[in-house]
Amino acid sequence: MPRPNNRRRQCRRAGLPLARRKSKSICCAGWPISFPAAWTRSPALNQQGYSARVYSTNGWQTVAHRIAVAYSRGHKDIVVIIGHSLGGNAAFDIANQLDRQNIPIELVVTFDATRPQPVPKNVLHLVNFYQENGFGKPISAGPDFKGELTNIDLTADTGLSHTTIEKSPRLHLMVMKKIEDVVRKDLASKVKATKPKTKRQKSNA
């Protein structure tokens, strides 16, 4: 388990196409439970071409500020926020702060968030892994939310607990697949939107 003062770090970018590099994944670790090396060093994210940073839960305002500043400068990256326990709670703080600034978040993933809030309208996709173990709970949509909300109840999985749920390799693969799917769809929609429209005219010949 990484030391607390090593939680915040940025992973190296992989040599992948620029379109893939524009994605950004931000993880919020829950105190006193921190993300394992698979997330903090983020080899999975790194190898897929994502830039990943890890913050402590009390750093959520810094996360929101950095995203907002980048967005105001025209760097409209695909933002993914992943949080466990108190970090899951912080993910909602970030989302709500950015919602007030009309900044979209492509994907939020939470593991056993202890005090989740209704999903704000700026979140396009939210996946919540939880166990009804005194910590986790299902998440509800906010009044204006029109995105995709998925609650995955893992209570019956006795091999998991509040302190291990975010370390599961199986769940890591599910998260990576979701990120890949969301990013692919987002890039495809942007390419479609930027393609010039052509009109076909009948020949008089």
Q: Which pLDDT score is estimated for 179?
A: 86
Q: Which pLDDT score is estimated for 42?
A: 53
Q: pLDDT tens, 104-142?
A: 999 999 999 999 999 999 999 999 999 998 899 999 999
Question: What pLDDT band is residue 99 in, cutting at 50, 70 and 90?
Answer: very high
Q: Which pLDDT score is estimated for 16?
A: 23
Q: Is residue 111 within 8 Å of 88, Cβ to Cβ?
A: yes
Measured CA to CA, the distance from residue 138 to residue 115 in angstroms comes to 10
120: DSSP letter = P
Q: Which of 171, 198, 181, 67 is nearest to 124 (CA)?
A: 181
Q: Which pLDDT score is estimated for 44?
A: 56
Classified as helix, coil or strand, 74 is coil
> 181 pLDDT exceeds 70?
yes
Q: Which of 121, 161, 115 is nearest to 145 (CA)?
A: 121
Write the CATH number of the domain with boundaries 4-190. 3.40.50.1820
Q: Which pLDDT score is estimated for 123?
A: 95
Measured CA to CA, the distance from residue 146 to residue 180 in angstroms comes to 21
Q: Which residue has the tokens 């105001």?
A: 72
- Mean pLDDT over all residues of the chain? 76
Measured CA to CA, the distance from residue 57 to residue 10 in angstroms comes to 16
More confident residue, 1 or 204: 204
**Cβ count near 34 (within 10 Å):** 22
Q: Which of 132, 139, 122 is nearest to 83 (CA)?
A: 139
Across the range 88-103, mean pLDDT stands at: 94
**Would you state the structure tokens that stand for residue 78, as one six-digit string?**
């695909």
Q: Which of 124, 110, 51 is nearest to 81 (CA)?
A: 110
More confident residue, 18 or 9: 9
Q: Which pLDDT score is estimated for 25?
A: 57
> 12 pLDDT exceeds 90?
no
Q: pLDDT tens, 58-75?
A: 888 988 998 999 899 988
Segment of 27-31, 38-42, 51-55, 108-112 carrying the highest mean pLDDT? 108-112
Strands 78-84 and 23-29: parallel
Half-sphere exposure for 105 (CA within 13 Å, toward CB) = 33
Across the range 176-201, mean pLDDT stands at: 66
> 79 pLDDT exceeds 60?
yes
